[in-house]
Amino acid sequence: MAIAHIGIGSNMGDKKANCLNAIEALKTHGVAIKKISSFYETEPWGIKDQPSFINAALEAETVLSPLELLETMKSIEAGLGRTETIKWGPRIIDLDLLFYDDLVLRTDILEIPHPHLYKRDFVLMPLNEIAPMKKDPVSSKSVSELKEEYQHAKNP
């Protein structure tokens, strides 16, 4: 079994319910949820002129490969009503694979660790809550250290 860390977000409709529905859907697709962070209300990233988000992170065990997990997450997003619009635009649900064990993977369709993980407070806050000692396989820094570095860079 692999340990996966997944970021969850929504800024349309009943945001928290959308996130909870995604978590329930993951459970029915070979993903055993071990930890779920609190839900955080966060400002949009990338495109600022849109509603605020609800974000969370989860830790899960899965037998799915990284690509199978990505396909499953995309299928869940579609099943919950997500349609592709503009990059970083409003979305009913967003599932991001942040870490998959200690794997470093770079393909055209999937990058692990998530390439924007290091510069997104809305990812680092909930991830730090459930996995502060998780080591980033690229930098060898813990999630707690990454969050602290981000906070310091944001507020020197």
As a whole number of angstroms, the distance between CA 62 and CA 99 comes to 12
CA distances from 101 to 59, 63, 65, 69 (A): 11, 12, 11, 13
Asked if residue 128 lies in contact with residue 147, where contact means CB atoms within 8 angstroms, the answer is yes
Active site members: 82, 91, 94, 96
As a whole number of angstroms, the distance between CA 33 and CA 116 comes to 23
The residues near 69 (Cβ < 8 Å, ≥ 6 apart) are 4, 31, 62, 97, 100
Length of the chain: 156
Asked if residue 59 lies in contact with residue 101, where contact means CB atoms within 8 angstroms, the answer is no
